[in-house]
Amino acid sequence: MSHFSPLSTLPPDALLGLMVAYRTDERTEKFDLGVGVYKDEAGETPILSAVRKAEARMIAAQATKVYEGPRGNTDFCAHIERFVFGKDHPALVEGRVLSFTAPGGCGALFLGTGLMRRMGTRRVWVSKPTWPNHPNVVKSLGLEVKDYAYARDGGFYRLGALADLSAAEPGDGVILQGPCHNPTGIDPSTDDWRELGRICREKSLIALLDVAYHGFAAGLEEDMAGIRAFMEEAGEALIAYSCSKNFGLYRERTGAFLALGKTAEGIAAATTHVADMGRATWSMPPAHGAGIVATILGDAELRAEWEAELTSMRERMIGLRTSLSDALVTKTGSNALGALKTQNGMFSQLPLSVEDTVRLREADGVYMPASGRINIAGLHPRDIPRLSEILARYLV
């Protein structure tokens, strides 16, 4: 009898399996729409030029590798606070905000969900559909997952979402993504965000806002309008911020956990709990990626260079979305796929059955997960005519 015999083997990660299958596919015509990272026109995920420069500067100036402390890089934290709340938010000077460096957006989601649990939450609502790691994190902390309606006819399903959330109990948690919802690309309007904030306040629901694509939808300021409207209405919120995509820092595990409270006392108490959770898991947050981001955002020239690089990533995705959407509308003869153009960020979800996604892969070399999620950034403009011809056969 081995210590390990009580363990049954878990199913393999479907997305990783898809990546391997794509790589070993020997057909000359194949399309990888399954990847979860940004790709440029050459199909690469390059290190941003502002990141390279900031990294070199930081390493040259670095005198020690000693721990930074439980909050990690405090300059980084201050920059992300200003991103999330806006630089003039009164809570910043009233002690009603906390911020911690975290190992990526996922580390921040873990802190947010763990804090909910310490505040008494027993179940957490996630959008249907959502990024599969949301239910993973919630379940790993022993909490129950519930879902709320999210998408309908290519847009946000406000009535459905509000109806489902009105069935939530006071103290329940709600994970809301913004901007650039994964996997649908569908974002609530600023008005919708206000309504979501209102219901969270009225029902006393604890919101965790997952910001993983800041700058990928319309711009750095524009992309925060929704969550800021939400926070204005709700009064309190937890926020998980990821720098993986907008700074291209994936493997450096760079993110921040933040919270906005109604009282400085509440935030002071929450700070001790967040520090306690960090201490019991990674002990101290990683420094490298946060140092790079702080260097970029603290230097006017590097910041301008990063903003220009972010703009070009965003514009490339918007261009590809428009072309794919127009091509699908023409090829299917229906306006249904016109909604792709109104969606944001890297992902959209095509209305395909699981069987269709398997047939697309086996018969046509088009790789995407069973959910029908496609990564727009995985496309090259030259792929669009042929790809839309293939997809249209399944979409009519």
- Is 255 a residue that touches ligand PLP (CB under 6 A)? yes
Token match 């970029």: residue?
A: 296
CB atoms within 10 A of CB 39: 20
Q: Which is nearer to ligand PLP, 177 or 295 (CB)?
A: 177
Among residues 212, 227, 259, 374, the one that binds ligand PLP under rule CB under 6 A: 212
The distance of closest approach from Cβ of residue 382 to ligand PLP in the complex, given in angstroms and rounded to an integer, is: 27
The correct pick among 210, 236, 309, 356 for binding ligand PLP (CB under 6 A) is 210
Specify the length of the chain in residues.
396
Q: Count CA within 13 A, CB hemisphere, residue 149.
A: 16
Q: Residue 230: phi, psi to the nearest 5?
A: -60, -50
Residue 53 beta carbon to ligand PLP: minimum distance, rounded to whole angstroms: 22
Interaction between residue 177 and ligand PLP (CB under 6 A): yes
Give the end-to-end CA distance of the chain in Å, rounded to a whole number.
56
Which residues participate in catalysis according to the annotation? 131, 210, 245
Composition of the chain by helix, strand, coil, percent to 5 = 50, 15, 35
Q: Check binding of 182 to ligand PLP (CB under 6 A).
A: yes
Q: Exposed, middle or buried: residue 273 (CB in 10 Å: 0-12, 13-18, 19+)?
A: middle
Q: Which residue lies nearer to ligand PLP by CB, 132 or 365?
A: 132
Residue 72 Cβ, how far from ligand PLP at the closest point, in Å? Answer: 14
Residues 1-60 that bind ligand PLP (CB under 6 A): 36
Kindly tell me which of 177 and 357 has the beta carbon lying closer to ligand PLP: 177
Return the residue matching tokens 């721990």. Answer: 67
Residue from 319, 274, 243, 337 nearest 113 by CA:
274
Shortest approach of ligand PLP to residue 78 CB, angstroms? 19
Q: Which CB sits closer to ligand PLP, 250 or 282?
A: 250
Residues 95-134 that bind ligand PLP (CB under 6 A): 104-106, 131
Which residue, chain included where needed, has tokens 């709700």?
Answer: 234
Chain contacts with ligand PLP (rule: CB under 6 A): 36, 104-106, 131, 177, 182, 210, 212, 242, 244, 250, 255
